[in-house]
Amino acid sequence: MATTTHLMTAEELMRLPDDGLQHELIKGELLTMPPPNPEHGLVMNNVAFLLTAYVRPHHLGKVITGDAGFKLESDPDTVLGPDVAFIRHERIAGISTQYFAGAPDLVVEIRSPGDRRGKVDAKANMWLDAGAASIWLINPKTRTVEVRKADGNKELLTVEDELNGNDIIPGFRCRVAEIFD
């Protein structure tokens, strides 16, 4: 006798009760993660602050943090929530009380101590395949930022380097060290 697995939809994900955990949906399968540690929260806050302090006065778009979901695929649904995201001004109309349809222009993911490299790579590829122009993979343990772009280019930055927004956030620059201070 065959068994069937119920694939969850984005709408069902949105109706889950708040249980203090983080949830994502990959091809209809629910993934549950524990809340991040304080270091993760500090790095996330620093990145969001640095980006917002530049993006807002230049009217370039919106910086979104934490629990915002982005619906990347349908039937079966994939909904991911980046640690920090940037959406260009011309795409802001897509922000609503539902999940944002598609990927943000810039995705920032902060590695947790238990994240396996394969899982991080797979998630980065999902974002890029769904239309993100760039992803910053931040590793608090090594104090590095790996920048991956949709064109396949990769760059690993250390605390001595400068991170920039390239053509996604024109003119944005910060020392990598600022992310971890």
Q: Tell me the per-residue pLDDT of 102-114, one tens digit each, with 9 for 90 and over.
A: 999 999 999 987 7
Give me the residues of the chain with pLDDT under 70, please.
1-5, 94
- Domains contained in the chain, number: 1
**pLDDT for the residue numbered 82:** 95
Is 60 domain-assigned?
yes
Tell me, what CATH number does 55's domain have?
3.90.1570.10
Tokens for 79?
């909904």
Residue-level pLDDT at 113? 79
Task: Establish if 147 belongs to a structural domain.
Answer: yes
Range of the domain at 112: 36-180
Instruction: Flag whether 21 is in a domain.
Output: no
Angle at 75 between CA 85 and CA 137, to 5 degrees: 25
In this predicted structure, what is the pLDDT of residue 2?
Answer: 55
Residue 10 is assigned to a structural domain of this protein: no
Residue type, 56: R
- Is position 164 within any domain? yes
What is the C-alpha to C-alpha distance for residues 150 and 159, in angstroms, rounded to an integer? 24
